[in-house]
Amino acid sequence: MTIEYKVNQPISVEEFCELLSNTSLGARRPLHNKDLIQGMLDNANLVVTAWQQGKLLGLARSVTDFHYCCYLSDLAVHEGIQSQGIGRNLIKLTKEQLNDLCSVILLAAPLAEGYYPKIGFEQHDSAWILRSISQLS
């Protein structure tokens, strides 16, 4: 199987949604809201993709300053080809786009929590999420 990796190759909302629907992230992303999905793609400033014969099979979508921190918001590999090193390669290629001192930061989906320590990520105990302005006191 030959996988071609690309950096910042434009992808469509349909390609992104199709990939996500074939991963555990599909249930955790608003695939029905095409405007929101388009915004996710438009405003990510580092997207590394994996392709086979013109079909999107993997993606690492990040927001970064390229020097200090890179938030890897989506790491998705089609369930039919997982465990072949594609996710690791997507992360490696993402890291190669960054300054050596730039940290890659992510929040793991529950089904992926065991994956990241196996490939070298360190767990951090103090991540915080604010989902709505109404939560501010």
Residue spans per domain, the chain: 4-135
pLDDT at 127: 85
For residues 58 and 64, what is the distance between their CA atoms, to the nearest angstrom?
19
What string of pLDDT tens digits covers the 137 residues of the chain? Answer: 699 999 999 999 999 999 999 998 877 888 999 999 999 999 999 999 999 999 999 999 999 999 999 999 999 999 888 889 999 999 999 999 999 999 999 988 777 888 898 898 998 888 888 889 999 98
Angle between helices 13-21 and 34-43 (to 10 degrees): 100
pLDDT at 53: 94
pLDDT at 80: 87
Class of domain 4-135: alpha beta
Backbone angles phi, psi at 104, to 5 degrees: -95, 125
